[in-house]
Structure formats: structure tokens, C-alpha cells
Chains A and B, each alone.
Chain A
Amino acid sequence: QQQVKQSPQSLIVQKGGISIINCAYENTAFDYFPWYQQFPGKGPALLIAIRPDVSEKKEGRFTISFNKSAKQFSLHIMDSQPGDSATYFCAASREEAAGNKLTFGGGTRVLVKP
């Protein structure tokens, strides 16, 4: 049972374009939704995160949109650059639950063409 579903599995975008990755979750107890960025051969690194008390969070070219009623959240990468080429993972957790454990989506491989 996959509690966090991520789409698409891969996408190709031209430099300067917008990359959009979507995630849907099932557990309404989740209250923390981070996005991780992973480059080949490296571990995932936190990119941006949101909590359900806000509908949008922006950090530089990266924006999370959150729809609590639909149980969906998405990552928008504006003005995509070749250096953004990486795999992106959405995740969710119950922060106060024992262990603060993250449940991940399946990942999206993003390729930004120059």
C-alpha cells in the first residue's frame, strides 16, 4: 500500500520552463510535507517543506502548493535550469508520532535541457 503517490515518473523541460511534480497522500494524519532533491550518487537533501496550515510556500524558484481537502501537494520549479536536473521525492510524515518517520513517493526524474 503506497501512502504517497507521485507523478510523473520522469519529465523533460527546456531551460527556463516550469517543472511541475504532483503528489497525493492517503493518511489525513500527515502534517509535514517535505520535498527532497537527489543528485546521482548522492543522498537526498531537503529542498523545501510545508505544513498544512498554509496553502503555498515559496523559496526562490521552488514553490510548494498544498490542497488539504484534495490531499494533494505539488512542487513547481520556475525558470528551470540544467543544474536542477535531479530526482525529486515528495514525502509526508506525522511530526509528533513516534520516530517522525517519512513516507516517500516513488520519485520523479527531471531533466532540464539547455
Chain B
Amino acid sequence: DAGITQSPRHKVTETGTPVTLRCHQTENHRYMYWYRQDPGHGLRLIHYSYGVKDTDKGEVSDGYSVSRSKTEDFLLTLESATSSQTSVYFCAISDGPGNTIYFGEGSWLTVV
């Protein structure tokens, strides 16, 4: 298994509260991604990073922000959680074009 650790693995939070999910990698890969998985939609890209402090938006970035201050850590923040953000969130890493993208085990988030 690729060295990816997501935390927390499960969280229940209330609408309007901020939430931060953490992704930690031990592979020293340059690229890191946050996807969300919802039934019927597959996985959709929220944000990605191509280096320390270098990030960009994916297709479903509204309501989310990210930060990457170290190669190994990529944080996803929901500034004010909404019920539509109830989902399973996956972190992924890659060493760049032509290389496999590896996924973490997922973080289950429920917003009530």
C-alpha cells in the first residue's frame, strides 16, 4: 500500500462548523489530490497540489479550500460545512505524468 494516511477516518459534524481533513504521505510524491465520492458520480476532483504552496481547483471546489505547507501534508478545509458536503473524501498522490495515482483509505464525513 502507498504510504497515505487520512485523518480523521470518520467524522460527524454540524452544519455551519468548519472541518479540516488531513492527508499525510510518506512517499515524497509531488502531486496530491482531494476527491469526493458520491453514489452515481464516481470520484470528483475537489483540489489538487503540484508542489508545496502550489494548489489549483478541481471540478467541485466551491465550499472547499486547501493548503500544503509541507511536501507530505495536504489539508482540505470545509469553511462552513453543509449537508451537501456529506461524502467520502479520498486523498491521492502521484509522482507526476506517466505515474500511477494512489488513493488513501478515505474519510467518511457526515454533516447533520
Contacts and interface: CB of A to CB of B under 8 A. Distances in A.
B95 to A, nearest CB: 9
Contacts, number: 63
Interface stretch (A54-62, A69-77, A78-86, A92-100): A92-100
B101 A100 contact: yes
Contact of B58 (A95, A101, A107): A101
Say which size band chain B's interface belongs to.
20 to 34
Interface string B60-103: 00000000000000000000000000000010101011111111
B50 A104 contact: no
Main DSSP-derived SS at the A contact region:
loop
Nearest to B94: A100
A58 B75 CA distance: 37
B51 to A, nearest CB: 11
Nearest to B9: A41
Given A95-B98, A98-B50, A45 B103 contact: yes
Given A104-B43, A106-B41, A107-B42, A42 B97 contact: no
B94 A89 contact: no
A106 B98 contact: no
Interface of B: 4, 31, 33, 35, 40-45, 48, 50, 56, 58, 90, 92, 94, 96-106
23 contacts: A4-B42, A6-B42, A9-B40, A41-B105, A42-B106, A43-B4, A43-B90, A43-B105, A43-B106, A45-B102, A46-B102, A89-B42, A91-B42, A95-B97, A95-B98, A98-B50, A99-B31, A99-B50, A100-B31, A100-B94, A101-B45, A101-B58, A107-B40
Interface of A: 4, 6, 9, 34, 36, 41-46, 49, 89, 91, 95-96, 98-107
6 A-B pairs closest in CB distance: A104-B42, A43-B103, A95-B97, A104-B43, A106-B42, A44-B103
Given A43-B92, A44-B103, 6 more contacts: A42-B105, A91-B42, A98-B56, A100-B101, A101-B48, A104-B35
